[in-house]
Amino acid sequence: MNLPPRFSKFVQPKNIAVKVSRLAAHLIGSEIVKIGNEVNDMKAQGAEIANLTIGDLNADIYPIPELLKQNIQKAYQHNLTNYPPANGLASLRNAVSQDLHSRWNLSYAADDILITAGSRPLIYAVFRTIVDPGEKVIYPIPSWNNNHYAYMTQATSVEVQTSQENNFLPTAKDLEPHLAGAVLLCLCSPLNPTGTMFTREQLAEICQLVLKENARRSKDEKPLYLMYDQIYSNLTFGAQHYNPVSLFPEMKEYTIYIDGISKCLAATGVRVGWGFGPSLVISKMKALLTHVGAWAPKPEQQATAEFYASPENVNTFVKNYKNQLETSLKVLHEGISRMKSKGMAVDSIQPMGALYLTIKLDYTGTTAPDGTVIKDASDLVFYLIREGIALVPFSAFGGEKSSPWFRASVGGLSLDEIRNCLPKLEAALGVLK
């Protein structure tokens, strides 16, 4: 198996019996899950922890739209509980098609839209449909789960390190040396884990590279495809969201989009996502997923179709909901800025979109009052959990354990809880020497 460098240490010696598949034997667990388990265990014992780890939403603070909830209940009452079509209800695919046109000026027929249970099956299907073992896949670091999908498809990973100077987004200059021979480039904006976004110029330069690379290839070669995850596209704060095909219509031949209601309607557990792109790729993704059974439940599909029948339903809900998120992110960002002004080794990047704030806590090499040495980001995470604050290090998104950068998600906390956690964070960091 052609393993990415990160996973090489998990390869078992040949003389040790492997009692499951090599794929399963070499899978590594999610660091986010590990952190979450620690938080949950401590909370079960009565600890008060501000959980800024989870890329989810507290449904009591951020409930789904009332009309969507009513539509779901109505669909169950009408017994829409049998199998949906493999590619999704026609009513929903038509509603998505209309929304894409009105919202982003993207023209995709209903047959080029695939409905699944959230975005994860779509991302997996993109990898499985495009990538053969050993073929090159490019993605930035940090980014969400691309390393694991590359591993599961036995791809050759090209991990492009990004920097604070470019808001942890890859530039055309970063990507250009790696495009030759690659079959998939994975991008996301607004980006999980950073909440930062491509400018028009940044994305345009990357698209021009993709077009140039594909123009160079013969008709017998597999194209370089772009997977563009825009699941957070409606959750932007002042910045404008851009997408490849709107910038360059000729990108339509190479771009597969990932989208859905999980984030924009605070509906992470409702599980309705959609992908759209070139007919050939979407049809093969559909065929693949018929063997997986990754469709969204029929009642939720019907309810989403009815909700999206009026763009105002989406627009009105998103306006109020994202204002709440933006306020929470600003309060957290301003709190970190105040600590920085006091000379503490912290920083954060102005929030642009999604649920996340990128925070720098540069405390590697320090020692806690009990004598514990903070050797890396994981040590700092578990120290802070004991002090009542939980964050996710960039190492959970492919970064090095030495990285001082962390993701803070505000979706699980009220505004008061965010305000109250800031003095805890300052005090916990202040005693590190």
pLDDT in tens, 155-214: 999 999 999 999 999 999 999 999 999 999 999 999 999 999 999 999 999 999 999 999
Task: Give me 233's structure tokens.
Answer: 């596209």
To the nearest 10°, report the CA torsion of 58, 61, 62, 63.
Answer: 100
Q: How far apart are CA 385 and CA 364, in angstroms?
A: 16
Taking the complete model, does pTM exceed 0.85, yes or no? yes
Nearest CA-CA partner of 200 in 255, 242, 248: 242
- Please list the residues that pair with 91 across neighbouring strands: none
Q: Which residue has the tokens 């649920």?
A: 355
Answer yes or no: are the C-beta atoms of 382 and 229 closer than 8 Å. Answer: no
Q: Does 4 score more than 60 pLDDT?
A: no
Report how far apart the first and last C-alpha atoms of the chain are (Å, whole number): 45
Helix (H) or strand (E) holding 228: strand 225-229
Q: How many percent of the chain have pLDDT more than 90?
A: 89
Q: Which of 287, 219, 286, 230 is nearest to 253 (CA)?
A: 219
Binning pLDDT at 50, 70 and 90, where does residue 1 land?
very low
Nearest-Å Rg of the Cα atoms of the chain is 22
Give the closest residue to 178 by CA, choosing from 137, 145, 218.
Answer: 137
| pLDDT interval class at 9 (50, 70, 90) | very low
Query: What per-residue confidence (pLDDT) applies to 37?
Result: 82
Average pLDDT of the segment spanning 108-127 = 98
Q: Average pLDDT for residues 70-87, to the nearest whole number?
A: 97
Instruction: Over range 51-68, report the average pLDDT.
Output: 96
Structure tokens at 129: 């449909």
Task: Give the residue carrying structure tokens 């498809």.
Answer: 153
Confidence of residue 27 (pLDDT cuts 50, 70, 90): confident
Amino acid at 201: E
> Which among 269, 185, 266 has a CA at the least distance from the CA of 232?
266
